């Protein structure tokens, strides 16, 4: 088994258990007969930056979770295949999250933002304590109720929250409006 196959076996195990097994079980997971073989594979994966040793145990690094980029694909007419496919690796966390200390996820419920490409069940990436500007999509508490809408200034003073679906009305706070964060990304599972 190559180091790539060993790495993929570890990724599958981590995905299922959120931890690595004991050394005896690790040999079985990697398809190796001896603990010596396990130590060699682990050593190579540490050397290449996929794993690190912490307090006598192995732990995944950010690179462990990065996956190969298959290249780019045109969403129109077909194009020649990208020959550099697989040479770039991207971690979803690195791609979506710039400030982990200020970032949270929110699950979208409803269809008031469907024309902005945000569907029921999607997960939005929300950055808290980020300055807002007109036109930002924000998660806000309006009169003690949470919603996600476009933020625009009102004529005169104040703010209006606008949906991305003409079936819904604009929202103007009657008592209070608190922006909890700005939507900076979105992801969904396409089953």
SS3 track for 67-90: EECCCCCCCCCCCCCCCCCCCCEE
Q: What is the CATH number of the domain that holds 25?
A: 1.10.10.10
User: Are 42 and 104 contained in the same domain?
Assistant: no
**Catalytic (active-site) positions:** 112, 149
User: Are 122 and 44 contained in the same domain?
Assistant: no
Please answer whether residues 31 and 7 qualify as being in contact, where contact means their C-beta atoms are separated by less than 8 angstroms.
no
Number of structural domains, the chain? 2
Query: From first to last of its 191 residues, what are the pLDDT tens digits of the chain?
Result: 578 899 999 999 999 999 998 877 899 999 988 888 999 999 999 999 999 998 888 999 989 998 878 777 788 888 887 666 557 788 888 778 888 899 999 999 999 999 999 999 999 999 999 999 999 999 999 999 999 999 999 988 889 999 999 999 999 999 999 999 999 999 998 87
| Domain-embedded: residue 94 | no
Q: Which domain range does residue 27 map to?
A: 3-65
């Amino acid at each position: 088994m190559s180091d790539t196959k060993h790495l993929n076996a570890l990724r599958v195990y981590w995905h299922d258990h959120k931890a690595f097994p004991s050394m005896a079980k690790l040999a079985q997971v990697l398809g190796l007969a001896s603990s010596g073989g396990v130590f060699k594979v682990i050593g190579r994966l540490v050397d290449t930056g996929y794993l690190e040793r912490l307090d006598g145990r192995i732990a995944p690094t950010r690179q462990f979770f990065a996956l190969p980029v298959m290249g780019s694909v045109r969403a129109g007419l077909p194009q020649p295949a990208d020959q550099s496919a697989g040479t770039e690796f991207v971690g979803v966390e690195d791609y979506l999250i710039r400030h982990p200390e200020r970032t949270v996820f929110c699950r979208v419920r409803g269809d008031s933002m469907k024309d902005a490409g945000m569907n029921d069940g999607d997960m939005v990436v929300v950055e808290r304590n980020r300055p807002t500007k007109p036109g930002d999509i924000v998660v806000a508490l309006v009169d003690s109720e949470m919603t996600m809408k476009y933020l625009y200034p009102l004529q005169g003073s104040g703010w209006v929250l606008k949906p991305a679906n003409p079936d819904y009305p604009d929202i103007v706070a009657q008592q209070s409006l608190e922006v909890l964060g700005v939507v900076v990304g979105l992801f969904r599972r396409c089953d």
